[in-house]
């Protein structure tokens, strides 16, 4: 499953950070998941539950923030709705995705000695 490899990468990133900061443990991990990223937050959460055992994240809570898709004109930056056809009414330029496709490790709450 796609979500398993994401969790694997996530936990390895977290353990790098833990090592870099000489932290004793991880309390909370914050990730942002875009609505268009192809990742199901529920599946990610259950994959995390399976994977975190015996890792630096064993006692860490996973906090998933869903990011809705947002589009804007690539020329004048006017915000555009998908329903409106994704073409700017002002300058007829196609829209650009501003957010919604991201998978981001946002923040790690660590316990530092």
Binding site for Zn ion (CB under 5 A): 73, 75-76, 78, 88, 90-91, 93
Comparing CB distances to Zn ion, the nearer of 58 and 87 is: 87
Comparing CB distances to Zn ion, the nearer of 45 and 98 is: 98
Cβ contacts of 94-100, under 8 Å, gap ≥ 24: 95/71, 96/71, 96/72, 97/36, 97/69, 97/70, 97/71, 98/70, 98/71, 98/72, 99/34, 99/67, 99/68, 99/69, 99/70, 100/34, 100/35, 100/36, 100/37, 100/67, 100/68, 100/69, 100/70
Min dist CB 85 to Zn ion, Å, is: 13
Min dist CB 90 to Zn ion, Å, is: 4
Min dist CB 80 to Zn ion, Å, is: 8
């Amino acid at each position: 499953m796609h979500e398993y490899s994401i969790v694997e990468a996530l936990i390895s990133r977290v353990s790098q950070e833990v090592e870099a900061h000489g932290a004793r443990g991880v309390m909370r991990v914050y990730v942002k998941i875009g609505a268009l990223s192809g990742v199901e937050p529920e599946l990610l959460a259950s994959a995390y539950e399976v994977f975190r055992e015996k890792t630096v994240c064993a006692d860490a809570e996973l906090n998933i923030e869903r990011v809705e898709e947002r589009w804007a004109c690539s020329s004048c930056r006017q915000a555009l709705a998908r329903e409106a056809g994704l073409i700017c009414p002002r300058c007829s330029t196609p829209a650009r995705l501003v957010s919604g496709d991201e998978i981001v490790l946002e923040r790690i709450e660590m316990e530092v000695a």
